[in-house]
Chains A and B, each alone.
Chain A
Amino acid sequence: MLLGCLLGLASCINTVERAPGGLLQRSQQDPALSGNGKMLAVIVDQRGRPTVQLRDLQNGKILPLRHFSRHQPHSSPSLSWNGRYLAAITQRGDRRLTIIEDRLTGRVHPLPLPGGRAPVRLSLAPDARQLALQVAYQGHWRIEVFDLSQILEPDPSSRLRRSISSTEMGS
């Protein structure tokens, strides 16, 4: 009986920890986990410039990024399932622009919005097949979804697919 109560209590307890580097960085904002929970992207202040930083949560190490050392300020990072793709909003001249870095190939994909519009927030689908952008439209916020299947290879989540087959909820 007592053991049962203790197990029940333990199952409701969540463990809280500070993200690696939190005590060393001046600030960390805009967290984005990879789908598999192994990587964390944040926006850190690097010499006054908001810059995206990627960290391996298993060993705490900062992972190298080829295409996010300039074009600050960066905002709204988002990762695919395995962290192969990192998307974020950057600044090119006077224009806000979504770019996606493929960490496997080292390629960068600049993705300008038609009509010269500026993205404000973004979310990359776990398999990297779609991108949702928040934009301003006639004085209101609007979300537009784009198909990336002709641009990026999918970042599959095979382990999830197995678990989902038995647990995914219907609408």
Chain B
Amino acid sequence: MKDLQLPSLPTGLMPLLLCFGLAACGREVMRPMQDLNSSLLQSASSRREPAFGRRWLASLSNYQGREKIELLDLRSRRPVPLPGLNRPDSHPISVSVSANGERLALVRQRGDQTELLLYQRSLGTVQRLELSAKGIPRKVSLDGFGRLLAVQVSRDGRWDVDLIRLSS
């Protein structure tokens, strides 16, 4: 009995055929953005907590053992400067960005304080936000306009979500 042999295929054709085969079976396939992913992989030793704006990707990125907030311009694939935001005595926990990349909401740990902050990029200002009732912020989500903020808060032994309408 003869062995069944597959014809040799040109390099690069196999993934295409695989995608086509999966699509034909009703499975949808996400296409990795190879160039962007390569630059993300090479520019930091680790990266977590992704948060999209319209043409922005915010994340917590580890450089030489220190984690900081980074805002990547998806057009140029380069991080933009965030003067006054990342401090050597603080550790970021969560970040979210408005659609136009102007406002970033964040939670960070500084000493024994967990801070909820709003950063305005054009001004380079960091504003501390206060919660209505005492609690410890954990995660943030900013709406696209940068005017409404949802915050996960540890309070009285349970998790709450506070909404903060931000002044424009």
Asked if A13 contacts B49 (CB within 8 A), the reply is: no
What are the interface flags for A108-119 relative to B under an 8 Å C-beta threshold, 1 for contact and 0 otherwise?
A: 011111100000
Given A19-B162, A143-B59, check contact A13 B130 (CB 8 Å). no
Q: Is the CB of B52 within 8 A of A143?
A: no
Contact A147 B50 (CB under 8 A): no
Interface size of A by CB at 8 A reads 66
Number of B interface residues in the complex (CB < 8 A): 61
Q: Any chain B CB within 8 A of the CB of A1? A: no
User: Of all chain B residues, which has the CB nearest A139?
Assistant: B46
Taking CB atoms, residues of chain A closer than 8 Å to B52 are: 123-126, 130, 132
The complex places the Cα of A101 from the Cα of B62 at a distance, in Å, of 32
Q: Verify B148–A145 contact, CB threshold 8 A.
A: no
Hey, what's the 0/1 contact readout for B133-168 against A, CB within 8 Å counting as 1?
000000111111101101110000011111111111
Binds B, one of A29-37, A66-74, A88-96: A29-37
Q: Is the CB of B99 within 8 A of A133?
A: no
Residue from B31, B46, B49 in contact with A140 in the complex, judged by beta carbons closer than 8 Å: B46
Please determine whether A22 and B102 come into contact, CB atoms closer than 8 angstroms: no
Cα separation A160 to B129 with both chains bound (whole Å): 25
Q: Does A131 contact B (CB under 8 A)?
A: yes
Q: How far is the CB of A169 from chain B (nearest CB, A)?
A: 6
Contact between B100 and A169, CB atoms less than 8 A apart: yes
Asked if B101 CB lies within 8 Å of chain A CBs, one says yes
- CB contacts (< 8 Å) of A47 on chain B: these are none
Contact with A along B96-122 (1 / 0, CB 8 A): 000111100000000000000000011
A53 and B113 CA atoms in complex are apart in Å by: 30
Residue of B nearest to A38 (CB): B143
Chain A: minimal CB distance from B112 (Å): 23
Interface core residue of A111, A120, A126, A167 (most chain B CB under 10 Å): A126
For the A-B complex with A121-B49, A146-B31 known, give 6 more contacts whose Cβ atoms are closer than 8 Å: A19-B162, A19-B163, A37-B145, A126-B54, A134-B49, A144-B37
Sample 10 A-B pairs with CB under 8 A, ordered by A number. Answer: A12-B167, A14-B129, A14-B167, A29-B139, A40-B163, A112-B27, A141-B47, A144-B37, A146-B33, A164-B100
Partner-A contacts on B (CB < 8 A): 27-28, 30-33, 36-37, 40-41, 45-54, 57, 59, 62, 73, 75-76, 78, 80, 99-102, 121-122, 129-132, 139-145, 147-148, 150-152, 158-168
